[in-house]
């Protein structure tokens, strides 16, 4: 891949991430993960306003865009719990 194609891909990722973090739930998730070393699970995000399934959807979207990453995977019986932390890109967008 030439340098121009790589630059185009970086710009495309930036645009996608910028668009994604405009969603209030995703912005809130990134803000919660701002302090380095902070982690969160879908269960922790679950509330009266946000189901675990919906939280997991937004976590997956942020992960696919490189704003967060899986820090740890745990198992509770048949349930898989993914623990997320922000990436440098995610912290940069949360600060905006």
Which has more pLDDT, 8 or 30?
30
Average pLDDT, the chain: 87
Give pTM, 2 decimals. 0.82
Mean pLDDT, to the nearest integer, of 5-11?
Answer: 75
Predicted confidence band of residue 4 (pLDDT cuts 50, 70, 90): low
Q: What is the pLDDT of residue 70?
A: 97
Mean pLDDT, to the nearest integer, of 68-79?
Answer: 94
CATH 3.20.20.150 fits 3-95, yes or no: no
| Lookup: tokens for 36 | 């380095």
Distance CA 40, CA 58 (A): 12
Q: b or e along 48-75 (b: 16 or more beta carbons within 10 Å of the residue's beta carbon)?
A: eeeeeeebbebbebbbebebbeeeeeee
């Amino acid at each position: 891949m030439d340098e121009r194609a790589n630059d185009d891909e970086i710009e495309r990722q930036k645009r996608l991430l910028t668009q994604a973090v405009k969603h209030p739930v995703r912005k809130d998730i990134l803000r919660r993960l701002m302090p380095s070393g902070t982690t969160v699970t879908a269960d922790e995000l679950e509330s009266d306003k946000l189901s675990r399934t919906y939280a997991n959807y937004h976590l997956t979207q942020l992960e696919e865009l490189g704003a967060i990453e899986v820090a740890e995977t745990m198992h509770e019986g048949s349930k898989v719990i993914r623990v997320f932390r922000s990436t440098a890109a995610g912290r940069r967008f949360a600060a905006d």
